[in-house]
Amino acid sequence: MEIKIMDDETCDISIGEWIPNPDGPYYTNTTCWAIHEHQNCMKYGRPDTDFLKWRWKPKECELPIFNPFQFLDMMRNKSLAFVGDSVGRNQMQSLICLLSRAVYPIDDSISPDENFKRWKYVDYNFTLATYWSPFLVKMKEADADGPTKTGLFNLYLDEADDKWLSQIEEFDYVIFNGGHWFTRCSVYYENNQLVGCRYCGLPNVTDLPSTYGYQKAIRTVLRTINNLENFKGITFVRTFAPSHFEGGEWNKGGNCVRRKPFISNETSLEGLNLELYTIQVEEFKAAEKEGKKKGKRFRLLDTTLAMLLRPDGHPSRYGHWPNENVVLYNDCVHWCLPGPIDSWSDFLLHMLMFEGRRSHEEKLQFMKQ
């Protein structure tokens, strides 16, 4: 396969438009076994396929389509972990499907728990892992139902989740994500002291916005990475991917029935989506600044605008059989596979291609301090 190298590493790939791509998709639900059932839109009868025929075109440059052979060659003798919620798992499964054109991995999981999977690409000695940590910080489920039947969670906002923290130092690349779970009913703790909550309904407890818990959690994660002496890898913060419920909230009849992307001037980032995105960017910049003093490397995998423009890419009701009893009946949070989320690997490969030069320059700056 011809390998194209972009010569413009300063291009902001986060700003652009979706343009037609008659060559897509690059796998199907019959050629890839890694698709989670609830994102298997073709299997469950989604009738249209036009949503598979688009690619992301940055405003100022070209973004080549993901090349699995090039990616695997760059990942030789390396490891990559996804840490966060089920949209992070969605991204990992997309990557496995895109890589399936080259080779499939073997299951190398340490635990039988599906939330903590590990895959090995033997010929490349490349390990891919996922750590399900929807709040990223230490969490205890206080009530399976809670006030709104979505659970009540105790969040320890100044303590990173040990499920990923205990193993993260062995990885060369880590991609963090989070956001969707922070709208759930939660009780916030700092220094083991109750400081407030979100929709908890407990007497004499201050109700705080979900952004309070989110900012504290992101800050804790990035500070924790900065303080890990033995972690020598690269930390990616993958920005928030907005949901697209219209006509109601997720539990009040909301759905996503559009069949083509927005053009960038048809919509804008606003409300909670804008707040979560702003928090991520601000906390990333603060951690990056601090990290440069310690030789740590942070990267922003900014997919927010691209995904804001894809209301057509969700499973909606095509993630289950019509008579099946599921929590998220119309799923406008996750992404069909194949689908727009496959473009995240285009973003990732583009960033990795320039990583050697960028890391070398940062190392030189660190040594001069």
pLDDT tens digits for range 67-95: 999 999 999 999 999 999 999 999 999 99
Is it the case that residue 5 has pLDDT exceeding 90? no
Q: Which is the catalytic residue, given 158, 302, 331, 342?
A: 331
Q: How far apart are CA 193 and CA 173, in angstroms?
A: 34
Contacts of 271 (CB under 8 A, 6+ apart): none
**Two structure tokens written together for 132:** 């399900």
> Between 325 and 25, where is the model more confident?
25
Residue 186 a catalytic site member:
no
Backbone φ and ψ for 216, nearest 5 degrees, come out as -60, -40
pLDDT at position 322 is 84
Among 233, 191, 240, 231, which residue's Cα sits nearest to residue 211?
240
pLDDT at position 151 is 75
pLDDT at position 1 is 46
Among 327, 328, 332, which residue's Cα sits nearest to residue 314?
332
Contact by Cβ (8 Å): 144, 204: no
Indicate the angle between helix axes 343-353 and 86-99, nearest 10 degrees.
Answer: 80
Q: How far apart are CA 64 and CA 349, in angstroms?
A: 9
pLDDT at position 368 is 67
Taking residues 343-350, what's their average pLDDT? 98
Q: Which is the catalytic residue, given 38, 79, 86, 316?
A: 86
pLDDT tens readout for residues 219-242: 999 999 999 999 999 999 999 999
Is it the case that residue 100 has pLDDT exceeding 80? yes
On whether the pTM is more than 0.85, the answer is yes
222 torsion bin: left (phi>0), alpha (psi -120 to 50), beta (else): alpha
Residue 113 a catalytic site member:
no
pLDDT tens readout for residues 267-310: 999 999 999 999 999 999 999 999 999 999 999 999 999 999 99
Contacts of 141 (CB under 8 A, 6+ apart): 151, 152, 153, 154
How far apart, in Å, are the Cα atoms of 44 and each of 39, 157, 313, 324, 325?
9, 39, 15, 11, 14
pLDDT at position 291 is 97
Q: What is the separation of C-alpha 21 from the centre of its chain, rounded to a whole number of angstroms?
A: 23
Taking residues 120-146, what's their average pLDDT? 93
- The percent of residues above 70 in pLDDT, for the chain, comes to 92
Contact by Cβ (8 Å): 239, 302: yes
Among 58, 65, 85, which residue's Cα sits nearest to residue 23?
65
Taking residues 246-271, what's their average pLDDT? 93
Backbone φ and ψ for 45, nearest 5 degrees, come out as 95, 15
The structure tokens 């003798």 sit at 77
Contact by Cβ (8 Å): 24, 336: no
Within 72-167, strands assigned E span 79-84, 106-107, 118-121, 126-132, 137-143, 152-160
Q: Which is the catalytic residue, given 334, 342, 345, 350?
A: 334
Residue 334 a catalytic site member:
yes
Taking residues 10-26, what's their average pLDDT? 95
**Two structure tokens written together for 134:** 């929807």
Q: How far apart are CA 198 and CA 190, in angstroms?
A: 14
